[in-house]
């Protein structure tokens, strides 16, 4: 998680408290219709001030959980109940409810934030990528390969050099690096940034060259080439996948291009996708670029079929420091990946508690979320999903928790709001945000 912090584009700040009773040791959520007994929710995250503690977390598993198989059986009835009920503070009447049929068990996921490729493996990865792009005669890797970390200090004699040449040379300082965690190249023909166990950002310069080099490949990797481009349409991938546009290499449907994108990452960037991890395209944006079009795909990881929470670029605010999956992929050719940035799927996730086969049901979580909201706050929910959500518990350590996610609008300030209820403990947290496209 440490590595992601260098690149995440949302701002974390403490904002007005939307939830009540957050600092009490225990709070009760009384269901006045008698359908559920009172559910006691212990505050767990604040007790893990030194990082995730499986013992503390396991001690606070909610006693009101029910088997996942039963949650599936009653889900359709719960949806009807939640949509029709007047909760007082949360309105579910127009919400779209996602499926969780693939869910069999849940856990808490952690990772070694210091995982990184070795120096030699990192250099080899860059060499392989240069060969794959047929740039061996164009890119002098011994000159261009640099480091963006703080392990080796910049040479004062290089301070007058243009970027990236004032950054430490990898080959000149090879023995001083402990890993390839922050190696990068930034040339007019290609830009690649390493981050831990793989490439974080990449551009093969196809898009900038088509646009007469208006932006550098290093910035193109982050979508800078499309900042002034016309957005033709943008939405959920499944809704738009059958549409076709004329791209650089011919007419291509969004679905056909998406298949190429997923295959690209499945082959490794450069390492293979971690065990139990798969990729899913959440959203697609179609841009008009000169006389043709380009696709931008938002991609998230899934663990055993359950998606990680995803965040598009925007201004995010939350009392808790969160680390959503953030990955965008750009193609102007249609049959290849031309640029991307974001979470690398090679990150190894470890199950850090015993696999659990019981969770709080969706309706239980809805009651908990409604009780947690302050009296003067109301929210209209547009979607309900079950996802894995990553939280920082310290500056450099955190974990990924299974949660019910209620997304919608806060009626107090009309900002987007996501309310999360930990499906194992019942602890509630939230974020408000404004997307760049809003």
Per-residue pLDDT tens for 302-334? 999 999 998 765 566 666 788 888 899 999 999
Tokens 């359709």 sit at which residue?
76
What is the dihedral sign for C-alpha 199, 205, 210, 213? positive
Indicate the pTM of the whole model: 0.86
Least-confidence region, from 151-160, 190-199, 228-237: 151-160
Residue 421's pLDDT band (cuts 50, 70, 90) = very high
The phi and psi torsions of 364 (rounded to 5 degrees) equal -60, -45
Confidence tier at 270 by pLDDT (50, 70, 90): very high
Q: Residue 350's pLDDT band (boundaries 50, 70, 90)?
A: very high
Query: Locate tokens 């709080």: which residue?
Result: 360
* Residue 181 CA: distances (Å) to CA of 6, 114, 135, 404: 12, 9, 23, 34
Q: What is the pLDDT of residues 109-148, one digit of tens each?
A: 998 878 899 999 999 999 999 999 999 999 999 999 999 9
Q: Give the model's pLDDT for residue 40.
A: 76
Cβ partners under 8 Å of residue 148, min gap 6: 167, 182, 183, 184, 193
Cis before 164 (ω within 30):
yes
Residue 239 clears pLDDT 60, i.e. is over it: yes
Report the 3 state secondary structure along the chain: CCCHHHCCCCCCCCCCCCECCCCCCEEEECCCCCCCCCEEEECCHHHCCCCCCHHHHHHCCCCCCEEHHHHHHHHHHHHHHHHHCCCCCEECCCCEECCCCCCCCECCEECCCCCCCCHHHHHHHHHHHHHHCCCCCCCCHHHHCEECCCCCCCCHHHCCCCCCCCCCECCCCHHHCCCCCCEEEECCCCEEEECCCCEEEEECCHHHHHCCCCCCHHHHCCCHHHCCCEEEEEEEHHHHCCCEEEECCEEEEHHHHHHHHHHHHHCCCCCCCCCCEEEEEEEEEEEEECCEEEEEEEEEEEECCEEECECCCEEEECCCCECCECEEEEECCCCCCCEEEECCCCCCCEECCCCECEECCHHHHHHHHHHHECCCCCEEEEEEEEEEEEEECCCCCEEEEEEEEEEEEECCCCCEEEEEEECCCCCEEEEEEEECCC
How many residues appear in the chain?
438
Whether the Cβ atoms of residue 165 and residue 119 lie closer than 8 Å to each other:
no
Q: Is residue 3 over pLDDT 50?
A: no
Confidence bin at 29 (pLDDT 50/70/90): very low
Rg (CA), the chain: 23
Provide the pLDDT for residue 322. 82
Task: Please check the confidence at residue 85 and state whether its pLDDT lies above 50.
Answer: yes
Residue 165: pLDDT band (50, 70, 90) is confident
- pLDDT beyond 50 at 49: yes
Tell me whether residue 94 is exposed, middle or buried, using C-beta atoms within 10 angstroms of its C-beta: 0 to 12, 13 to 18, 19 or more.
Answer: exposed
- Quick one: pLDDT at residue 21? 39
**8 Å CB contact between 137 and 131:** no
Is it the case that residue 84 has pLDDT exceeding 70? Answer: yes
Highest mean pLDDT among 163-167, 213-217, 318-322, 420-424: 420-424
Q: Which residue has the higher pLDDT, 253 or 12?
A: 253
Cα separation, 368 vs 362, whole angstroms: 10
Angstrom distance (rounded) from CA 424 to CA 437: 34
């Amino acid at each position: 998680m440490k590595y992601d912090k260098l690149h995440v584009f949302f701002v974390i700040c403490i904002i007005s408290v939307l939830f009540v009773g957050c600092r009490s040791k225990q709070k009760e959520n009384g269901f006045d219709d008698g359908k559920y007994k009172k559910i006691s929710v212990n505050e767990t995250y604040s007790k893990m001030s030194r990082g995730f503690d499986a013992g503390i977390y396991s001690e606070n598993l909610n006693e009101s959980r029910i088997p996942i198989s039963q949650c599936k059986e009653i889900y359709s009835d719960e949806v009807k109940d939640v949509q029709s009920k007047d909760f007082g503070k949360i309105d579910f009447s127009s919400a779209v409810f996602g499926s969780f049929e693939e869910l069999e068990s849940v856990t808490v996921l952690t990772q070694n934030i210091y995982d990184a490729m070795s120096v030699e493996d990192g250099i080899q990865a860059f060499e392989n990528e240069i060969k794959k792009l047929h740039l061996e005669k164009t890119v002098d890797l011994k000159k261009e390969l640099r480091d963006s970390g703080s392990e080796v200090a910049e040479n004062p004699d290089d301070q007058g050099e243009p970027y990236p040449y004032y950054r430490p040379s990898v080959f000149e300082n090879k023995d001083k690096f402990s890993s390839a965690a922050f190696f990068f190249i930034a040339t007019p023909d290609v830009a690649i940034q390493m981050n831990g166990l793989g490439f974080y950002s990449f551009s093969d310069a196809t898009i900038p060259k088509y646009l007469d080099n208006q932006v550098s490949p290093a910035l193109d990797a982050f979508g800078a080439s499309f900042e002034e481009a016309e957005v033709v349409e943008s939405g959920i991938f499944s809704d738009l996948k059958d549409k076709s546009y004329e791209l650089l290499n011919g007419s291509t449907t969004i679905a056909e291009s998406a298949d190429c994108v997923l295959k690209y990452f499945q082959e490794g960037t450069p390492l293979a996708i971690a065990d139990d991890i798969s990729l899913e395209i959440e959203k697609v944006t179609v841009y008009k670029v000169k006389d043709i079009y380009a696709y931008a795909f938002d991609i998230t990881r899934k663990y055993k079929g359950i998606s990680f929470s995803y965040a598009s670029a925007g201004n995010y605010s939350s009392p808790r420091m969160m680390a959503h999956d953030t990955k965008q992929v750009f193609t102007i050719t249609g049959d290849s990946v031309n640029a991307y940035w974001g979470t690398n799927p090679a990150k190894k996730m470890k199950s850090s508690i015993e696999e659990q086969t019981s969770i709080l049901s969706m309706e239980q979580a809805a009651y908990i979320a409604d009780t947690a909201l302050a009296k003067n706050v109301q929210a209209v929910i547009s979607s309900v999903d079950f996802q894995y959500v990553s939280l920082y518990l310290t500056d450099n350590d955190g974990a990924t928790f299974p949660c019910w996610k209620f997304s919608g609008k806060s009626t107090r300030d009309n900002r987007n709001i996501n309310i999360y209820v930990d499906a194992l403990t019942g602890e509630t947290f939230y974020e408000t945000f404004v997307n760049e496209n809003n």
